[in-house]
Amino acid sequence: MTEKVVSVVSLDEESPERSSAQVRFRQAQQEASRRRFGRAEELAREALEIDESFVEVRLWLADLYEQLEEPRKAGRLYQDILHADRDNQAAWEALERVDPAAAKRLRRLSEIPPDPFVARRAQGAELSDDLTGMETLSADDLADVGVADFGLAHEVSEEIAGDLEEVTDDLRPAVQPSVTAGEAFDEVGGEEADEEGEVTRGPADWEYEQDRPMLAKWQAEPTVQRMAAAIRAAWEEEVDVLDPVYNLCAHGERHSHASIFEAVNKTSETLAIKAVEIYIVPERSMDTIAFRDQPPAIAVPTGVLRGMEPQEQLFQVARGIFYITAGYLPEWQAADIILDRKTRMLGDCASVLRETLAEQVGRWRDQLSGADVERLQKLAHAWQQRVTLSADRAGLITCRDIDVACLSIAKATAKSAEAAAAMTVGSFLEQFAGQDAAALAAIPPEASPDRSDSYAAYRIHMLRWWASTPQGQQLLAL
């Protein structure tokens, strides 16, 4: 094995963590010299758990993986080193050797300027001026777009579902419990802490009324149960099966992506979640991707950084994290696999995530007829449409500004950062003038409710309506 030079610091200068990690590191080296590589890996990992800044251990372990012909694991470690220290030339050279594509992506990401909208506050003020006079829709306004009362949202939802009558005919909106200002803050995250302080996932009372009833039908499907279990098991694999996704991303860095870190911190307070891992992916798309629950991790496209103001970024980040705090990310990912929608870009993060998880799930179609597959796709689509409306509410109670939320929804449909920067809610909705809400909501299963233009218009109308309800007003006033 290639010898590594390990810097030794006198014990009186070392932190207790570094001293303990040094012990594990020496034990790892001894085990490796005896060719007990499994134990050597365990000890090196323990050293890093004790002192994650111990760069020499990462270099040594990466070298061990190279010796064992595991370049993917080695590449991940070299990337971890470079995320913390972009000037580590040894790590650059090693990464270019074991994973040239990852090295190229990382160099490209390192060139992304920090917070590009910091210098555009004046333009942001102009965008705010464009929104002046846009008031929350009243019940009379909603009647003009084809729905007499958006509170009876199941009537529209049945239109959305098309010929899904067999799974929606008994659904009716749940009666929203009354919420006092004091109670509302406790319930915002929809999570409860157990005796040890661990956070459990769960529903929030402000979610869209049809979300959980449709989820219950989705979870009752045996195919979905098997797929969700396989996805959860994949998260717990010792070898990270999500490496293809990680390889598209770089760790978020506080000095370069300050607004995203601020958005995650704010969302963590509002939705009661801790230790969210932040990754940045070089894509022009503008919706945050939640890709694992344990540990919670999101990927934020550079399109969000380039095309949105910080408060709009906050709305999108909160939407993404909601899929984790809601507790049904595996079911959402199973729906994505079953729907297998085509995306705008080849090899984008969402597609790679879906394909990677599909490999873990296996041949889910084998025991199903064509009619069964079609039924599952319709059910998946109907549920995802409802979840999208819940995620919008999560974004709104986090950013607390209905105009910002609506503009962020509109911008997420833009084909470029330049188009997003020039967009206003009014100009976006103008293209759908005269269409009623049912028509806007009736998108086919091939269209993603997070990215569809017409469904975005429907989402804006629905979010404005909810913000005008007593529950929405109470939550936004906290």
| Statement to judge: residues 67 and 170 lie in one domain | no
Are 85 and 160 contained in the same domain?
no
Instruction: Examine the domain organization and report whether 104 and 252 are in the same domain.
Output: no
Range from 158-162, 227-231, 235-239 carrying the lowest mean pLDDT: 158-162
Together in a domain, 157 and 92: no
CATH number for the domain that contains residue 21 = 1.25.40.10
**Of 280, 241, 277, 278, nearest to 113 (Cα)?**
280
What is the C-alpha to C-alpha distance for residues 285 and 304, in angstroms, rounded to an integer?
7
Q: Is the pLDDT of residue 191 over 80?
A: no
Q: State mean pLDDT over 42-58.
A: 87
State residue 331's pLDDT score: 96
User: Residue 437 — very low, low, confident or very high, per pLDDT cuts 50/70/90?
Assistant: confident
Q: How far is Cα 107 from Cα 121, in angstroms, rounded to an integer? A: 28
- Inside any domain, residue 286: yes
pLDDT at 140 over 50: no
Range scoring the smallest mean pLDDT among 69-83, 173-187, 279-293:
173-187
Does 9 reside within a domain?
no
Q: Among 272-281, 390-399, 449-458, which stretch is predicted with the lowest mean pLDDT?
A: 272-281
The pLDDT of residue 150 is above 80: no
**59 and 160, same domain (yes or no):** no
Overall average pLDDT of the 7-33 stretch: 75
> Which pLDDT score, from 0 to 100, does residue 133 have?
31
CA distances from 89 to 82, 103, 233, 285 (A): 9, 12, 37, 32
The pLDDT-based confidence of 110 (bands split at 50, 70, 90) is low
40 vs 315, residue with greater confidence: 315
The total of structural domains in the chain comes to 2
CB burial of 115-133 (b: ≥16 within 10 Å; e: otherwise) equals bebeeeeeeeeebeebbee
What residue spans of 169-210 are helical by DSSP H?
A: 181-187
Asked whether residue 318 carries a pLDDT value surpassing 70, the answer given is yes
Question: 72 and 207 in one domain?
Answer: no
Residue 295 lies in a domain: yes
Residue 192 half-sphere exposure toward CB, CA atoms < 13 A: 4
Helix (H, G, I), strand (E, B) or coil at 54: coil
Residues 97 and 194 in one domain: no
For 132, 215, 239, 244, 432, the CA distances from 456, given in Å and listed in that order, are: 21, 21, 38, 30, 11
How far is the C-alpha of 81 from the C-alpha of 240, rounded, in Å? 18
| Average pLDDT over the chain, rounded to an integer | 78
**Within-domain flag for 294:** yes
Residues 97 and 161 in one domain: no
For residues 98 and 203, membership in a common domain is answered with: no
- Regarding pTM above 0.85, the answer is no
Residue 326 confidence class, pLDDT cut points 50, 70, 90: very high
Give the whole-angstrom CA distance, residue 197 versus residue 460.
37
The whole domain housing 20 covers: 16-110
Q: How confident is the model at residue 156 (pLDDT cuts 50, 70, 90)?
A: very low
Map residue 350 onto helix, strand or coil.
helix
Question: If you average pLDDT over residues 435-457, what whole number do you get?
Answer: 91
Same-domain status, 356 and 449: yes
Same domain, 99 and 189: no
Residue 115 in domain: no
Q: Is 10 domain-assigned?
A: no
Q: Which residues contact 393 (CB under 8 A, 6 or more apart)?
A: 206, 207, 208, 463, 466, 472
* Strand ranges (E), 309-365: none
Name the 3-class secondary structure at 428.
helix
Strand, coil or helix: 37:
helix
My answer on whether 431 and 307 are in the same domain is: yes
Specify if 4 maps to a domain: no
Residue partners of 271: CB distance under 8 A and separation at least 6: 188, 189, 190, 191, 318, 321, 322, 325, 394, 398
Tell me the two tokens of residue 38: 């499994």
> Is residue 118 in some structural domain?
no
Is a pLDDT exceeding 80 seen at residue 59? yes
